[in-house]
Amino acid sequence: MRKKGSVLIKNDNQLNHAELAQIAYWKPITVGEVLYNYWD
């Protein structure tokens, strides 16, 4: 049972937890920014 106001997102990718954390931290705008890791 989900809590009221929670959101469930289906994750259809092969990224690990660390990679997802980096994306959440840097908030890239485009897919290209994700693919080429502009923050590296």
- Per residue in 9-34, pLDDT (tens digit) is 777 888 888 888 888 899 888 888 88
Structure confidence at residue 1 (pLDDT): 62
Residue 4 lies in a domain: no
Structure confidence at residue 3 (pLDDT): 67
Structure confidence at residue 23 (pLDDT): 87
Q: Which domain holds residue 26?
A: 15-40
Number of domains in the chain: 1
pTM, full prediction: 0.55
Which residues does 2 contact at the CB level (< 8 Å), separation at least 6? 8
Which residues does 38 contact at the CB level (< 8 Å), separation at least 6? 26, 28
Cα distance between residue 36 and residue 40, in whole Å: 9
Residue 8 lies in a domain: no
Residue 6 lies in a domain: no
Cα distance between residue 23 and residue 18, in whole Å: 9
